[in-house]
Amino acid sequence: MTSYAAASARAEMSELRRLKSLLPPELQSWVMVESATDVNPPLIRCEELGRDEVEIQIDLAKWDNLAIDQRNLLFWHEVGRIQNDTIPREGWEMAALAIGLGGAVGELWVQDGLLLLLALALCGVSGFRLWQKNNGDKRLAESLEADEKAIALATRFGYTLPNAYKSLGSGLKTLIEQTPNRKKRRFYETRLQALRRSASKAKAKMENQQENRPVI
């Protein structure tokens, strides 16, 4: 291994350890932070590996292009999804849908009405679950809630409220600039617009509290 490759590997391990330290103490025993190994993975995502284990996967090559504050808030967004229990579960639905469709075709051939109904019921349940997973409004609502969690986590780790909003907004702007897919870009733009509205409300609330603070 060349000295450059060794230095790069050390830097990646250091960043993963740093991110692990940004997990709230109550999550550190069962949330893992690892480098993504897929071909062309998303910047950051989280997956449930088992009943009591969740993994946050990061594309460190893309991650390195972000500022530290942007990384922190985007990381806390994923942590917020874990806290809100909105991370993807094991994808049994596609397998169930395939089994149901195959069973339905087979029962049409042998003309067994009861088994056909069971196969169609399996198709219906798995298809509905797939629709729920991919419903755009639901995904957006979950992401907006996770953004609010990220802001709260940032203040818990020492950020001021304005800096927390600024850092997450900056991270979303960078994602918008670097995302060629129009649908994904609109998704980030909607999140940014909602974040700006939330920041304006938080600012107005703080100003109102300062105005109503009694003078000693």
- 47 φ, ψ (degrees, to nearest 5): -140, 145
Residues 40 and 79 in one domain: yes
Q: Is residue 171 part of a domain?
A: yes
**Tokens coding 198:** 């939330």
Whether 60 and 149 share a structural domain: yes
Residues 82, 11 share a domain: yes
**CA-to-CA separations, 9 to 31, 40, 56, 105, in angstroms, rounded:** 22, 19, 18, 51
Q: Are 174 and 66 in contact (CB under 8 A)?
A: yes
Distance CA 102, CA 123 (A): 10
Full-model pTM: 0.78
140 and 128 together in one domain: no
Secondary element (H or E) of residue 58: strand 53-58
Tokens 């897929």 belong to which residue?
Answer: 38
Domain interval for residue 84: 3-89+134-207
Q: Please write the tens of the pLDDT for every residue from 170-189.
A: 999 999 999 999 999 999 99
At residue 152 the predicted structure's pLDDT band, cuts being 50, 70 and 90, is: very high
77 and 169 part of one domain: yes
The total domain count for the chain is 2
**Domain shared by 98 and 24, yes or no:** no
